């Protein structure tokens, strides 16, 4: 039977997630829209409604990371190589964007702050890079569970994950500043409350959830669970369920033609689009992006401007990797 959530479908989903992320960062941080730039909201509070729905964007990527780990489990790909692949992209973007932002007066240069931002565990230059530290911790956590054989018992994995999440919310009660980004306690707090989404992805792959006959009904539950995201209950309690339900529903939707091609294109370039789009919104091209003042038009302009940037970085990375590979081959010969 054909895998409903195969590589192609996951790329389409990443395309949807990156659109959600763009919407969230375009209209979820009004304090960062400056110099007379503005947008006209959708009728009937539609902009804010879509903002709430768009908050699922990062959880989708976290879930896919857990799902992907289940696929590659037991492979020879080392932890260092996995994490190094992300850092290579981050440092490549930093190589171009940090100097440009400094030249334009958008950043204050301090050698210690520069080093901390390059580490991925401090995000004063680009707040949207907070995911780097979480990804590193999730990969380390998964390898620890793998080495200790805990992953062989899915019930135990789920129990540990739930207890860690509860510990995270307990940490917030004891240390209120845990929710404040760029504090020492924020990184472990974020890991504790987000790791159940990663584990959810791992378990769903191991149980082959998306290929079960009842997957459509399972997906419908997602929209019901999603409704709880509008309540005062912390979202992280529901996201390990909401995200797979959303994906289950997404897998049942046939996507063809230009929409399929568009989502695949966005999905293939989603990592660099994630790393670059906020620089364009908040530091480099805000007047251009908000020039039409329409929320949909602004989104389209951002996609049109960021996609070529992401494509260039991806192409440059490929050329650098090939060059280094050729030099290494020459040395070993």
Closest Cα to residue 201, out of 148, 242, 143?
242
Which residue's structure tokens are 């006209």?
40
- The DSSP code for 253 is S
What is the tens place of the pLDDT at every residue in 172-181?
999 988 888 8
Distance of CA 22 to the CA centre of its chain: 11
Instruction: Give the model's pLDDT for residue 234.
Output: 56
3-class DSSP state for residue 29? coil
Instruction: Give the model's pLDDT for residue 265.
Output: 97
Closest Cα to residue 248, out of 274, 227, 268, 222?
222
Cα separation, 136 vs 115, whole angstroms = 17
Closest Cα to residue 274, out of 61, 51, 9?
61
Predicted structure pTM score: 0.92
Residue 137 near residue 197, CB atoms below 8 Å: no
Burial 111-140 (b: 16+ CB within 10 A, else e): eeebebbbebbbbebbebbbbbbbbbbbbe
Instruction: Give the model's pLDDT for residue 292.
Output: 92
Which residue's structure tokens are 């903002």?
51
Instruction: Give the model's pLDDT for residue 150.
Output: 93
Instruction: Give the model's pLDDT for residue 4.
Output: 84
Residue 305 near residue 289, CB atoms below 8 Å: yes
Could you please report the per-residue DSSP string of 156-213?
HHHHHHHHHHHHHHHHHHH-GGGGSTTSTTHHHHHHHHHHHHHHHHHHHHHTTGGGST
Instruction: Give the model's pLDDT for residue 93.
Output: 96
Cα separation, 162 vs 150, whole angstroms = 14
H and E: helices and strands count for the chain: 14, 0
Instruction: Give the model's pLDDT for residue 225.
Output: 58
What is the tens place of the pLDDT at every residue in 78-123?
888 889 999 999 999 999 999 999 999 999 888 999 999 999 999 9
Stretches where the chain sits below pLDDT 50 are: none
């Amino acid at each position: 039977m054909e895998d409903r959530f195969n590589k192609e479908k996951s790329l389409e989903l990443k395309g949807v997630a990156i659109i959600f992320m763009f919407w969230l960062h375009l209209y979820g941080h009004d304090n960062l829209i400056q110099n007379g730039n503005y947008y006209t909201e959708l009728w009937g509070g539609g902009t804010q409604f879509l903002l709430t729905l768009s908050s699922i964007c990062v959880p989708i990527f976290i879930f896919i990371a857990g799902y992907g780990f289940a696929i590659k489990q037991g492979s020879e790909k080392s932890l260092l190589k996995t994490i190094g692949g992300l850092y290579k992209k981050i440092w490549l973007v930093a190589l171009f964007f940090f100097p440009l932002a400094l030249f334009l007066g958008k950043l204050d240069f301090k050698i210690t702050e520069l080093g901390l931002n390059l580490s991925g565990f401090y995000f004063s230059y680009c707040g949207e890079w907070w995911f780097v530290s979480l990804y590193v911790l999730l990969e380390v956590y998964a390898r620890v569970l793998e080495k200790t054989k805990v992953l062989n018992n899915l019930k135990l994995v789920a129990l540990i994950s739930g207890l860690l999440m509860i510990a995270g919310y307990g940490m917030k009660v004891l240390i209120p500043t845990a929710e404040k980004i760029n504090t020492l306690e924020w990184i472990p707090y974020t890991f504790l409350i987000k790791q159940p989404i990663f584990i959810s992805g791992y378990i769903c792959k191991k149980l082959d959830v998306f290929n079960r006959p009842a997957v459509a009904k399972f997906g419908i539950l997602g929209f019901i669970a999603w409704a709880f995201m509008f309540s005062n209950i912390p979202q992280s309690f529901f996201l390990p369920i909401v995200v797979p339900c959303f994906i289950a529903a997404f897998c049942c939707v046939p996507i063809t033609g230009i929409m399929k091609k568009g989502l695949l294109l966005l999905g293939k370039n989603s990592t660099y689009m994630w790393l670059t789009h906020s620089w364009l919104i908040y530091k480099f091209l805000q007047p251009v992006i908000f020039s039409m003042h329409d929320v949909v038009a602004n989104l389209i302009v951002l996609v049109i401007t960021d996609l070529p940037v992401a494509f260039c970085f991806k192409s440059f990375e490929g050329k650098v990797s090939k060059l280094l590979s050729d030099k290494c081959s020459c040395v070993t010969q």
